[in-house]
Amino acid sequence: MPELRKDPVVGRWVIIATERARRPSDFVAEPVRPRASACAFCEGHESQTPPEILAGRPSDGRPNGPGWTYRVVPNKFPALRIEGELEPSGEGLFDRMNGVGAHEVVIETPQHGAWLAGLSVDAVADVLFAFRERMLDLKKDPRFAYVLVFKNHGEAAGASLEHPHSQLIATPIIPIMVSEELAGSAQYYDMKERCVWCDMVRQERRGRARLVIESRDFVALEPFAPRFPFETWILPVRHRAAFEESTEEELRGAAAILGEILRRVNQALGEPPFNFMLHTAPFREAQLESFHWHLEVIPKLTAVAGFEWGSGFFINPVPPEDAAEALRAGTIRS
Amino acid sequence: MPELRKDPVVGRWVIIATERARRPSDFVAEPVRPRASACAFCEGHESQTPPEILAGRPSDGRPNGPGWTYRVVPNKFPALRIEGELEPSGEGLFDRMNGVGAHEVVIETPQHGAWLAGLSVDAVADVLFAFRERMLDLKKDPRFAYVLVFKNHGEAAGASLEHPHSQLIATPIIPIMVSEELAGSAQYYDMKERCVWCDMVRQERRGRARLVIESRDFVALEPFAPRFPFETWILPVRHRAAFEESTEEELRGAAAILGEILRRVNQALGEPPFNFMLHTAPFREAQLESFHWHLEVIPKLTAVAGFEWGSGFFINPVPPEDAAEALRAGTIRS
């Protein structure tokens, strides 16, 4: 019998189509492989990107030259523009404002053919440090309410460049999906005086059926009502609303779990395209008792079609308990 | 300068990335063409589908034999199952119920190589009559709260079968996207005592920049804050909450506009894959003063990636005014 399950935060129901259930091997996607060998994001090609905003330069090299471990540069084709004021205005029923924001690229490694799943814990931690640094800096700009950190890996997941990179977009308003999570979290807090995410982490660590891996400070789990097969969330065990307030030690812990999850996804699903998205508290609400930052990893395995676009209901053919079992079986890379 | 625009109903902001603006010819997708010449949905193969629920049989042929113009059959691989009770239950934080619902397929024509855009107004109207009949029947089942009608055309839009067909899924709860539209519409109604959709139709008919075509009873327009390039909505001009309460005359008017829009989309964009989704009032709220049924048509031209999945913000490279102009330029097929 298929099952309807409700996300406890946003109230979104999904259909776990158990009768369409498939084994992980049925989902092996075209593996993501670099086709080119060099690009504008490669070491030695620094002049082909806009000047860097931040970089890891262990040997104190000059900005915009070689010798870096990661670089943050403005997106050359930004979705939003850094200059200008919002100038909100109306047109009868409708509301608009200027598309002011920041759009930056985090080049995760100098090597074109590397990937985040293959980097050392230190190198993944550097990428997370870069996210934190950029968030702390963008937070000073009073025009911005939020920054969304995300990664598109592989063409099918929307990546237009294959060199390993992630992105940040700072927006003048809080994105609607984050608002919905905040509203659901606040409603739960009003009722229970507890963080729904903390409760979820506790229940899943106790039940274990949807738990993939855990460390002292982090868990990776398959959510109860996942939109997508093998959707995996990484959350801090203790209450933390704002990613950018993480300590270096916490970020190293997050990096270890993230690298491990990406390797297990690769092993279980044949190096599929994927996205990840970081949900953190809005800039002006870093101390929220009701919200808890988390990273959502979604392998790109199924098509989104008319039913999903029309209803917001997702049909997921893999129960999260089965996905967790398959990901737990992955061997740990030493 | 890119522009942020807000949907007046659900409050979702989109980025109209004018600096990435492209001409319609930049979006010409791989045209959707049938590869096979016959399938289980073809005339003469009726025994390969589950027994029909409804069919157009102008010459009074026997059910499940040839001689039909359209057929409605249960989906052979349903996302939800028609038998059983909901039996809602909890698991700590989480809520679930049995996946009870109806999942039906409307085979739009007996001909494998035909398509909805190429059918006569009468034949398209028959498909809309079939939607109405099935909705009126499913409405009698007290387990169901809503039925979503949708179409996936072309593999890239999620179609797994190429024979022209659309689908209905009846669900025991109101889908979250419909709830969000209902809530936004009710909020506007509380404030203004007018239907926001009626106001939108009036404003767009006056302004004309986003209007594509209109008839006595219907308009087709590009919404102010479209998620996707060439997203097109069809709405009745007069206030109508529930699709299934449409008269035959109204449905013929809707069929004429729908066929015309599909032909213009084909002409402007080279027969792209597309989805459409019907948003109508929930079964138990057919008389709503605040809600107005509409059909959303979305050509599949751009990829949805991490930013969209994480934020609910869509980046649309084509301003709806440009899309409307391109679709208005399409010649009218006589």
Residue B194: Cβ-neighbour burial (10 angstroms; 0-12, 13-18, 19+)? middle
Give the torsion sign (CA, A282, A283, A284, A288).
positive
Structure-token pair, residue B95? 């809520």
What is residue A36's predicted lDDT score, i.e. its pLDDT?
Answer: 85
Number of H helices, E strands in chain B: 6, 15
Instruction: Give the rounded percent of residues in chain B with a pLDDT score beyond 90.
Output: 90
**DSSP string for B271-291:** S--EEEEEE---GGGTT-SS-
Q: Closest by alpha carbon to B116, among B265, B244, B230?
A: B265
Instruction: Tell me: pLDDT of B1 over 70.
Output: yes
pLDDT at B200 over 60: yes
Q: Which CATH number is associated with domain B3-76+97-328?
A: 3.30.428.10
> For residue A330, what pLDDT is reported?
64
Judge whether B77 is closer than 8 Å to chain A, CB to CB: yes
B124 touches chain A (CB under 8 A): no
Stretch A55-83: mean pLDDT: 94
Distance between CA atoms of residues B151 and B300, nearest Å: 12
Among the partner-chain residues B4, B157, B177, the one whose CB lies closest to the CB of A311 is: B177
Enter the ipTM. Answer: 0.94
Greatest alpha-carbon pair distance for chain B in Å reads 62
Tell me the C-alpha distance between B88 and B95, whole Å.
7
Segments in chain B forming alpha helices (H): 121-138, 176-192, 196-207, 248-269, 306-311, 320-328
What does the block give as tokens for B104? 């039906």
The residue of chain B with its CA nearest to that of A224 is: B94
Q: Is A105 on the interface with B (CB under 8 A)?
A: no
B86 has a pLDDT exceeding 70: yes
Mean per-residue pLDDT, B201-206: 98
- Nearest beta carbon to residue B8 from set A3, A15, A94: A94
* C-beta neighbour count of A51 within 10 angstroms: 10
Q: What is the pLDDT of residue B277?
A: 98
Which residues of A form the catalytic set? 165
**Span A52-58, average pLDDT:** 96
Q: Name the pLDDT band for B206 (thresholds 50, 70, 90).
A: very high
pLDDT band at A256 (very low <50, low <70, confident <90, very high): very high
Per-residue pLDDT band for A37 (boundaries 50, 70, 90) equals confident
Nearest CA in chain B to A179: B311
- Mean pLDDT value across residues B176-189: 97
B158 in contact with A at a CB cutoff of 8 Å?
Answer: yes
- Average pLDDT over chain B reads 94
Give CA–CA dist B259/B294, Å, rounded: 15
The answer to whether residues A294 and A197 touch, using CB atoms and an 8 Å cutoff, is yes
∠ at Cα A251 (A249, A253), nearest 5°? Answer: 75
Give dist(CA A296, CA B195) in Å, integer: 37
Exposed/middle/buried for residue B58 (C-beta within 10 Å: 0-12, 13-18, 19+): exposed
Mean pLDDT of A33-40: 89
Tell me how far apart the alpha carbons of residues A242 and A103 are, in angstroms, rounded to a whole number.
20
Amino acid A333: pLDDT: 43
Which residue, chain included where needed, has tokens 């089965």?
A322
Report the C-alpha gap between B326 and A93 in whole angstroms: 24
How close is the nearest chain A Cα to the Cα of B206, in Å? 11
Q: A58 vs chain B: nearest CA distance in angstroms? A: 30
B334 confidence band (pLDDT: 50, 70, 90): very low
Evaluate whether A316 touches A14 at the Cβ level (below 8 Å).
yes
- Give the residue on B whose Cα is nearest the Cα of A228: B309
Cα dihedral across residues A296, A162, A309, B321: positive or negative: positive
Query: Over the stretch B233-256, which tens digit does the pLDDT of each residue have?
Result: 999 999 999 999 999 999 999 999
Query: Is residue B332 over pLDDT 70?
Result: no
Residues of chain A contacting B6 with CB distance shorter than 8 Å: 94-96
The residue-averaged pLDDT of A222-227 equals: 98
Which is catalytic among the residues B103, B165, B279, B294? Answer: B165
Question: Please, which pLDDT band fits residue B24 given cuts at 50, 70 and 90?
Answer: low
CB contact A84 to B (< 8 Å)? yes
Q: Check residue A289 and give its pLDDT.
A: 97
**pLDDT digits 0-9 by tens, A160-181:** 899 999 999 999 999 999 999 9
Beta strands at A211-214 and B94-98: parallel, antiparallel or unpaired: unpaired
Q: Residue A1's pLDDT band (boundaries 50, 70, 90)?
A: confident
Say yes or no to pLDDT of A56 above 80.
yes
pLDDT band at A332 (very low <50, low <70, confident <90, very high): very low
Sign of the four-CA dihedral A164, A168, A174, A175: negative
- 8 Å CB contact of B96 and A5: yes
pTM of this prediction?
A: 0.95
In whole angstroms, how far apart are CA A270 and each of A25, A28, A255? 8, 5, 21
Q: Which residues, including other chains, have CB under 8 Å from residue B239's CB and lie 6 or more apart?
A: B195, B197, B198, B289, B292
Give A-chain residues touching B225 at CB under 8 angstroms: 94
Yes or no, beta carbons of B99 and A303 under 8 Å apart: no
Mean pLDDT of A142-169: 96
Residue B278 pairs with which residues in a beta bridge? B149, B295
Residues B167/B138, Cβ–Cβ less than 8 Å? no
Q: What is the pLDDT of residue B60?
A: 80
Residue range B90-99: mean pLDDT, rounded = 96
The percentage of residues in chain A with a pLDDT greater than 90, rounded to a whole number, is 90
Nearest Cα neighbor of A218 from A189, A184, A250 is A250
Would you say residue A149 has pLDDT above 60? yes
β-strand pairing of A54-56 with A70-74: antiparallel
Tell me which residues of chain B, numbers 202 to 261, contact chain A at a CB-CB cutoff of 8 Å.
203, 207, 224-225
pLDDT of residue A147: 98
Choose the closest CB to A157 out of B13, B159, B305.
Answer: B305
What token pair was written down for A282? Answer: 């809005």
* The CA-based dihedral angle spanning residues A126, A221, A237, A278, taken in that order and rounded to the nearest 10 degrees: 40
pLDDT tens figures, A85-130: 999 999 999 999 999 999 999 999 999 999 999 999 999 999 999 9
Q: Search chain A and give the residue with CA nearest B146.
A: A311
pLDDT at B29: 74
Report domain extents, chain A.
Answer: 3-83+95-328
Least confident range of A68-77, A309-318, B26-35, B150-159: B26-35
Helix (H, G, I), strand (E, B) or coil at A275: strand
A152 contacts on B by Cβ (under 8 Å): 305-306
Q: Does the distance separating the beta carbons of A16 and B99 come in below 8 Å? A: yes
- Which candidate, A313, A20, A11, places its Cα nearest to that of B170? A313
Q: Which of B1, B84, B180 sits opposite A99 (nearest CB)?
A: B1
Sign of dihedral through CA atoms A73, A77, A78, A84?
positive
In Å, how far are A7, A279, A313 from A184, measured between CA atoms? 10, 14, 17
- Write the pLDDT tens digit of every residue in B39-66: 999 999 999 999 999 999 998 889 999 9
Considering the domain delimited by A3-83+95-328, tell me its CATH architecture.
2-Layer Sandwich (3.30)
Q: Report, as an integer, the average pLDDT of A263-271.
A: 94
pLDDT higher than 70, residue B178: yes
How many residues comprise chain B? Answer: 334
Cβ-based burial of A189 (10 A; exposed 0-12, middle 13-18, buried ≥19): middle
DSSP of B22-75: --GGGG-PPPP----S--TTSTT-GGGSSPPSEEE-TT-PPTTSS--SEEEEE-
Residue B8 half-sphere exposure toward CB, CA atoms < 13 A: 18
